[in-house]
Amino acid sequence: MREAAARVLYERTHLEDIFLDQFHAFGRINRTENNVHQILLKNKGIEVPKDHWIFQRFITVGYCSLIDFTIVDTFPDAFNETCDWFEVKNLPKMAFDHDRIIEKGLEHIRRNIDTQIVASNLLPEKFTMKELQTVYETVLDEKFRRNNFQRKILALNSLERLEKFFDGSANKAPYLYKFLDNGLNSH
């Protein structure tokens, strides 16, 4: 299954060796009732027998991946005219129960942000506390007070404080951090 997920990710992004995490299996009997394929075929004037495989029950194993979408191109496949990035709050109409799959994947990432490798896959090796806070705020879709966030994160004992980051400005230089090698940042 993981190999298939990695293959699809590669076909859509041309990225290899990317973090993938299985989060849920989907197999409700009625999950294909909203069958966009039927609509597309009908709109293109293509007749397909009612017992065709495309209308049958599907089991989907959901995987999530963490990618900086701002630096990755997307590539459509034979079933899709386009392949684009969308904000989670502004998704287009999708086939089957894919909105539920995305919802479950996002729940999985949010639930595991402290215990798995979410932030470490979205940051450079060395980062500031502000950069880490930005990742948490983006993934969790909530704002944190800087001092409360820093106290919470440092209490996890998953970071090593490094040298200060000097950017030449007159502002107080922030410390750089990196994840400890305790499994949190393994790809």
Domain spans, the chain: 2-111, 119-179
Higher-scoring residue by pLDDT: 41, 74 = 74
pLDDT of residue 97: 86
Q: Is the pLDDT of residue 19 over 70?
A: yes
Distance CA(108)–CA(111), nearest Å, equals: 5
**2-111 and 119-179 agree in CATH topology:** no
Percent of the chain, pLDDT > 90? 37
Instruction: Specify the CATH number for 119-179; select among 3.40.50.300, 1.10.10.10, 3.30.530.20, 2.60.40.1930.
Output: 1.10.10.10
Q: Is the pLDDT of residue 72 over 60?
A: yes
Q: Are strands 20-26 and 60-65 parallel, antiparallel or unpaired?
A: antiparallel
Instruction: Strand 175-179: give its sheet, edge to edge.
Output: 127-128, 175-179, 159-164
Closest by CA position to 66, among listed 116, 134, 11, 141:
116
pLDDT of residue 168: 58
Higher-scoring residue by pLDDT: 85, 182 = 85
Higher-scoring residue by pLDDT: 52, 54 = 52
Higher-scoring residue by pLDDT: 114, 107 = 107
Q: For residue range 157-187, what is the model confidence (pLDDT) as tens digits?
A: 989 999 877 665 656 778 899 988 754 444 4
Arithmetic mean of pLDDT, 49-71: 84
pTM score above 0.85: no
φ and ψ at 63, to 5 degrees?
A: -125, 145
2-111 sits in which CATH class?
A: alpha beta
Q: Is the pLDDT of residue 31 over 60?
A: yes
Arithmetic mean of pLDDT, 76-92: 83
